[in-house]
Amino acid sequence: MVSLKEKDNFLNKFLGIYIVAVLMLWVKTYITQSTQFSLGVEGPLQQFLLVLNPLGSALLFLSVSFLFKGKRRYAVLGTVYALMSFLLYANVVYYRFFSDFITLPTIFQTQNFGDLGGSILTLMHPSDLLFFADVAVLFFLLFTRKIRKDTTLLGRKKAMAIITAALAVSIINLGLAEANRPQLLTRGFDRNYIVKYLGMYNYSIYDSVETFKASSQRALADSSDLTEVVNYTQSNYATPNAEYFGAAKGMNVVYLHLESFQNFLIDYKLNGEEVTPYLNALAKDDNTLYFDNFFHQTGQGKTSDAEFMLENSLFGLPQGSAFITKAQNTYQAAPNILKNYGYSSAVFHGNKGSFWNRNEVYKQFGFDHFFDASYYDTDSPGDMAEYGLLDKPFYEQSKDYLATLPQPFYSKFITVGNHFPYTINQDLVTINKAETGDPSVDNYFQTARYTDEAIKQAIDQLKEMGLYENSMIVLYGDHYGISHNHNRAMSQVMDKEITPYEGAQLQRVPLFIHVPGMKGGQRHTYGGQTDLLPTLLHLLGIDSKEYVQFGSDLLSDDHDELVPFRNGDFISPSIDSINEKFYDNETGLPLDDSQLETAEKLKQEAAYKLQLSDKVVNGDLLRFYTPNGFKAIDPASLNYKKEAETVPE
Ligand code: GP9
Ligand code: MN
């Protein structure tokens, strides 16, 4: 047998053993990432990134050993290798149970591991030893006397060359990932995405940085920060309108989410044909309040920002999504408030529970149930959209779960059919495309029509289930669907030039509130998504005064019609501020000098509101505040896993 110790055996050089370690870790990680996780890898570029990403990390992380001299570096190489292997395997086991990756807060929170409990052993298989076969090989090489230990220094040049190569691979990786999925790191999206594009190890670094940032802001805050906030929200409180207070008392709440749905679609005619006939009729229903000056206020968190505002009447964050970075905060969210009034609660959504970190943050909001994709049959490709189950099969399949909820319930159905880039199976199309030549704009009308039909189906189902007469149904658009990149096509659709002023007007999203027996009508009140929760509470006959909320009841005479956007711009019935310029809201013309002072004041007010809300969220200030009579649900008592008991007590 040839001895490994032969002089020219490359294993006798430290560089040789380092390269062997890199190759083994690269291959193992690639195989693990592609077989143990369902990352939804699509297309050759994503495939390529999945192959590439472990290489950068293996080169870089294992090069830590270069910092050490002599025999010590062999020990360091082995230790780093073993730790990375352990991290990978721990995620494999965690994923088997949660279909998600480990985050630092969830480790420290222990509730997740509490869920795992004794079952952790059942999640581990004897064949898992294979995950450590390479570790055994490496240890054999490093720590037996089979190879010579190379004590000559690697040489600065060589070390630098390897580190540069490692960084280059990682930077190319990140560049390609950003090109395929812009704002991957700033928006956060889904842990699955980060792993898919950047790999398990880079994900762990990303997660640690995010955790550190969040915890340092939180650590610096204390209860005295709350005084200013409470003073503000109390002064912002709008007394309920006696005509509407309690109009839906004791009723169920059904939120129907209109994905990427802009208000211009309502009553819009494409080639003489109504795009959304059902919604148009619903807007005129005697028991529907239709708000036509209602704006989305979302930022990078898109859908999650909309949900965050709806559930809390707090603004989303200026960067990223609070669903991801502030998932462990204390909240006094709608499901929890309503629990104190005997309500059960549930979210229905045909996408993975980890998207936007919903499976974590919903616990903090107090949702009893979260029916994510794992509860739905997602096997027929014709039923699927890019982000999950299409609206019609989604509503159909939701019926059985909805039927299990004790009444009154607070429920939210999040759909995905009308999502960018608005592709739709031609069998489902019932209206011609627009003809601007911009595919997303042209198709938007077809997916919006599909949404309209699906909403009709959802409401018919409620009628069949005997829930319609006893439910308040709220329809809301979550954010724009057509971004300003499509202004050329949109100017054809709207038949006017899309100036910055017009672009801001397009940020209207529909808001419908249907309550049996309530006086409906079209309302022109200006408002935004933070106003929804106080409006809803007052309709249910619950006073919002006790809560720290930044919006105000749309139906109250005291309602504040200043609508801040997340970037500090604002719209109001008189003055708008868009991209650092003021406009007369009615004419769209630049503002008269005589009104500048009022405009500046409004601008400061909008900025102050956003800043105070950010203070609450970043500092996790609600942990210092308990509204009178409010009892918090323990998030650790909630579990959304399908295997768990899904029928409520
Ligand atoms: C996915 C869906 C889409 O689960 O809610 O989110 P968006 O991309 O619109 O923020
Ligand atoms: Mn959305």
Query: Rounded CA gap, 528 and 569, in Å?
Result: 13
**Gap from CA of 321 to ligand 1 centroid (Å):** 12
Q: Residues 405-442: pLDDT tens digits?
A: 999 999 999 999 999 999 999 999 999 999 999 999 99
Known catalytic membership, residue 535: no
Q: Is residue 505 part of a domain?
A: yes
* pLDDT interval class at 474 (50, 70, 90): very high
* pLDDT interval class at 336 (50, 70, 90): very high
Whether residues 430 and 535 share a domain: the answer is yes
Q: Is residue 136 part of a domain?
A: yes
Whether residues 199 and 256 share a domain: the answer is no
Whether residues 546 and 452 share a domain: the answer is yes
Q: Which of 186, 193, 323, 355 to mutate to test the pocket of ligand 1 (most atoms within 8 A of CB)?
A: 355
Ligand closest to 296 (CA) is: 2
Q: Is residue 66 part of a domain?
A: yes
Query: Rounded CA gap, 264 and 505, in Å?
Result: 9
Q: Is residue 164 part of a domain?
A: yes
* pLDDT interval class at 647 (50, 70, 90): very low
List the domain range (segments joined by +) for residue 373.
223-626
Mean pLDDT throughout 74-88? 96
Q: Is the pLDDT of residue 107 over 80?
A: no
Query: Rounded CA gap, 461 and 525, in Å?
Result: 31
Whether residues 231 and 337 share a domain: the answer is yes
The CATH number covering residue 264 comes to 3.40.720.10
* pLDDT interval class at 1 (50, 70, 90): very low
* pLDDT interval class at 240 (50, 70, 90): very high
**Gap from CA of 194 to ligand 2 centroid (Å):** 19
Q: Is residue 412 part of a domain?
A: yes
The overall average pLDDT reported for the chain is: 93
Q: Residues 128-144: pLDDT tens digits?
A: 999 999 999 999 999 88
**Gap from CA of 469 to ligand 1 centroid (Å):** 30
**What burial letters (b/e) apply to 332-356, b meaning 16+ CB within 10 Å?**
bbbbbbbbbeebbbbbbbbbbbbbb
**Gap from CA of 544 to ligand 1 centroid (Å):** 29
Percent of the chain with pLDDT over 70: 96
Q: Residues 9-68: pLDDT tens digits?
A: 788 889 999 999 999 999 999 999 999 998 889 899 999 999 999 999 999 999 999 999
Whether residues 506 and 572 share a domain: the answer is yes
Is residue 362 a contact partner of residue 307, using CB atoms and an 8 Å limit? no
Whether residues 44 and 165 share a domain: the answer is yes
Record the tokens describing residue 607, joined without a space. 């900025």
CA–centroid distance for 433 within its chain: 30
Q: Which residue has the higher pLDDT, 69 or 2?
A: 69
Total structural domains within the chain: 2
| Minimum mean pLDDT range among 246-255, 283-292, 442-451, 635-644 | 635-644
Whether residues 194 and 208 share a domain: the answer is yes
Q: Residue 111 has what pLDDT?
A: 44
Q: Is the pLDDT of residue 115 over 70?
A: no
* pLDDT interval class at 199 (50, 70, 90): very high
Is residue 207 a contact partner of residue 228, using CB atoms and an 8 Å limit? no
Q: Is the pLDDT of residue 114 over 60?
A: no
Q: Which of 419, 483, 566 to mutate to test the pocket of ligand 1 (most atoms within 8 A of CB)?
A: 419
Whether residues 499 and 575 share a domain: the answer is yes
Q: Is residue 128 part of a domain?
A: yes
* Ligand 1 in reach of 303 Cβ (< 6 A): yes
- Exactly one of 233, 303, 378, 535 is catalytic; which is it? 303
Which residue among 217, 237, 252 closes a domain? 217
Which residue among 181, 196, 217 closes a domain? 217
| Phi/psi-derived region of residue 455, left when phi > 0, alpha when psi is between -120 and 50, beta in every other case | alpha
Q: Is residue 227 part of a domain?
A: yes
* pLDDT interval class at 110 (50, 70, 90): very low
Whether residues 196 and 259 share a domain: the answer is no
Which residue among 217, 237, 259 closes a domain? 217
Whether residues 533 and 581 share a domain: the answer is yes
* pLDDT interval class at 251 (50, 70, 90): very high
Q: Residues 487-529: pLDDT tens digits?
A: 999 999 999 999 999 999 999 999 999 999 999 999 999 999 9
pTM of the predicted model over 0.85: no
Q: Residue 117 has what pLDDT?
A: 56
Whether residues 200 and 240 share a domain: the answer is no
Whether residues 186 and 304 share a domain: the answer is no
Q: Is residue 365 part of a domain?
A: yes
Q: Is the pLDDT of residue 318 over 90?
A: no
* Ligand 1 in reach of 414 Cβ (< 6 A): yes
Q: Which of 305, 308, 405, 303 is nearest to 364 (CA)?
A: 308
Q: Is the pLDDT of residue 151 over 80?
A: no
CA triple 465-471-476, angle to 5 deg = 110
Mean pLDDT throughout 382-393? 96
Mean pLDDT throughout 239-268? 98
